[in-house]
Homo-oligomer: A and B are copies of this chain.
């Protein structure tokens, strides 16, 4: 295990802070102070704030791809989709506090009309494409993207309300409902 570089430490910290407090609401000073490095040093590694955002999005893409690769390595498509649905419960603590890391970033950048908006959307699309593939493998080729978007909408909606109300029971109920829905999809031919 090699020691992380300063650059890597900055990206990891920015990733966390952008998630917990938002991109706009996180300043250079906050990131630098929380790492114990100076603002000046900061600019040696990243010329602008957008460059950090870019690196954070790239890091998230990388980590999410690894997660999907893990799921791909084991189980069938139905089991994999279930892993995605259950992610809401696995990350429940964070989601109740900060919402979905993907959804909240897309929403914030859309609102700021930010240039890297489409890059953030790539994160959402990563899951969309992956889900679509799983539904295709299940024999739902014709409406695979429709079903993928439905699963995404479910997870985003639950995340928004879970954060607003801090309600674990609600998450549990909705995940169970989605599990039941997935059963009907799995056991139906097109």
Chain A interface residues (CB < 8 Å from chain B): 20-22, 24-25, 98-99, 103-104, 106-108, 110-113, 121, 124, 146, 149-150, 152-158, 160-161, 163-165, 170, 173-174, 177
**29 contacting pairs across A/B (C-beta < 8 A):** A20-B111, A21-B111, A21-B112, A21-B113, A22-B112, A25-B111, A25-B112, A98-B111, A99-B111, A106-B160, A106-B164, A107-B160, A107-B163, A107-B164, A110-B163, A121-B165, A124-B164, A149-B161, A149-B170, A152-B161, A153-B154, A153-B157, A153-B158, A153-B161, A153-B174, A154-B154, A155-B157, A156-B156, A157-B157
Query: Which residues of B lie under 8 Å from residue A158 when comparing CB positions?
Result: 153, 157
- The chain B residue sitting closest to A160, CB to CB, is B156
Binding site of A, secondary structure by majority: helix, strand, loop or mixed?
Answer: helix
Which residues of the partner chain B approach A173 to less than 8 Å between Cβ atoms?
Answer: 146, 149
**Minimum Cβ distance to chain B for residue A82 (Å):** 18
Q: List chain B residues, Cβ under 8 A from A174.
A: 149-150, 153
User: Ordered nearest first, which 3 A-B pairs have the shortest CB separation?
Assistant: A157-B157, A153-B157, A156-B160
Protomer copies: 2
Contact call B161/A160, Cβ cutoff below 8 A:
no
Contact among B124, B161, B170, B177 with A156 in the assembled complex (CB-CB below 8 Å): B161
Asked whether, in the complex, the Cβ of B99 is within 8 Å of the Cβ of A110, the reply is yes
Please measure, in the bound complex, the distance between the C-alpha atom of A92 and the C-alpha atom of B111, giving whole angstroms: 16
Known: A99-B110, A111-B98, A150-B174. A164 touches B121 (CB 8 A): yes
